[in-house]
Amino acid sequence: MLEMKTDVDDGTVTWVDQAIPAGFGTAADQARQAAPADDLAGALHRTALSDLAAFEEVYRELSGPVFGLVRRVLRDHAQSEEVTQEVFMEVWRSSARFDPATGSARSWVLTMAHRRAVDRVRAEQAATARSEQVGRLDPESSAVDDVPDQVEHRLEREKVRRCLRRLTELQRETVRLTYYTGYTQREAARLLGVPVTTVKGRLRDGLIRLRDCLGVSA
């Protein structure tokens, strides 16, 4: 959310936090969400016309989430920078192919980022090396905990953390092992020692509960 970038010290952030209800999105909530999303779609559109300033706008808004996400999956800092750069090169290259009818600009870019990170780890077959670092099944370890505390996006992080805590442990673990770690459902099932069908169900339930808790409307 762009609002999260406001200076924490000037008090506006408190206003933002109160304005976002914990449950379903209100009309006001949606309106505020829609504004930056539209800006971003506009910036992508201008990027397609080789507008470097517009491309920088897209980068400034999304490089944090892209890099943070890629780093959760890849772990390696240098590789994560590489993949982040690849993702934005791809954004530049194919910005004319973004279709607002199929989803938001943020979702388009982050889907690309996740897919690339996951493809990279799977191609490298690095699962064994990585699994030692995953810290699986530590009840207190949700992937957001090991993120350095930065002012930017702090409220969003707290909110995500809160919503993750509301999941059952198995829901949380399936979301963490798939989205944040990049395992397939089958791999997650093996790690958790439960049938694949259970993982599929918990993942779906977990995403639905997160969607509602975060007030997401597509």
Pick 18 or 97: Cβ nearer other proteins? 97
Residues 13/155, Cβ–Cβ less than 8 Å: yes
CB of 129 to other proteins, least distance (A): 19
Q: Is 120 helix (H, G, I), strand (E, B) or coil?
A: helix
CB of 150 to other proteins, least distance (A): 7
CB of 157 to other proteins, least distance (A): 5
Pick 137 or 208: Cβ nearer other proteins? 208
Residues 175/213, Cβ–Cβ less than 8 Å: no
**Cα separation, 88 vs 200, whole angstroms:** 31
CB of 14 to other proteins, least distance (A): 19
CB of 17 to other proteins, least distance (A): 15
Pick 14 or 197: Cβ nearer other proteins? 197
- Sequence-distant contacts of 181-188: CB under 8 A, at least 24 apart: 181/72, 181/73, 181/130, 181/134, 181/143, 182/73, 182/114, 182/117, 182/118, 182/121, 182/122, 183/127, 187/127
CB of 68 to other proteins, least distance (A): 4
Pick 27 or 78: Cβ nearer other proteins? 78
Pick 169 or 204: Cβ nearer other proteins? 204
| 129 contacts: CB under 8 Å, gap ≥ 6 | none
**Cα separation, 44 vs 200, whole angstroms:** 34
**Cα separation, 76 vs 120, whole angstroms:** 12
Pick 119 or 169: Cβ nearer other proteins? 119
Residues 179/145, Cβ–Cβ less than 8 Å: no
